[in-house]
Amino acid sequence: MKKVLLILITLISVCAHAQTYKISQLAGTKWMLCVGDTSRVKRVWEFSDKTLKTSTLFKNINRSHTFTYKYYLSISETEVFSTDLIGKGTTGGYIVLQKKDGIECMKIENLTDSTLKVVIEASKETNRNGNSSAIFTLKRIR
């Protein structure tokens, strides 16, 4: 009986810590990545309800790169991008991006009106090389 009670308490605790976000909290927002020398390089993420546009401006050479990715929210990590969830996967704790060479699944650690913090877990292959997760903190600019 004690084991069953302990298992139930553990499950409830894990579920209580799982955060779920809505796509409406991201759609129409614009964020600036707070890493490195922002006086030389500015990185911006802009969300719609179906796409994430990332822009990088290299101020010292006046050049920029912009990429647009289709995305949806998921309640769990995934290794397969489901195109039928674009615009329909509207709640979850993970941002799932469709990239040219596959997918990227980012865990939303924190989302407030002013801050977005995501974690990208290193792949098993990358972890063998000694790399760890990447944590990105962004400040809302719109």
pLDDT value at 130 more than 90: no
60: its two tokens: 């010292």
The pTM is what?
A: 0.81
Is beta strand 41-47 parallel, antiparallel or unpaired with respect to 51-58?
A: antiparallel
Which residues contact residue 124 at a Cβ distance below 8 angstroms, ignoring those fewer than 6 apart? none
State the pLDDT at residue 136.
94
Instruction: Provide the percentage of residues in the chain whose pLDDT is more than 90.
Output: 70
Q: Where are the domains of the chain?
A: 19-140
Assign 79 to helix, strand or coil. coil
The class (CATH top level) of 19-140 is mainly beta
What is the predicted pLDDT for the residue at 39?
A: 85
pLDDT at 37 over 60: yes
Q: What is the pLDDT of residues 84-121, one digit of tens each?
A: 999 999 999 999 999 998 999 999 999 999 999 999 98
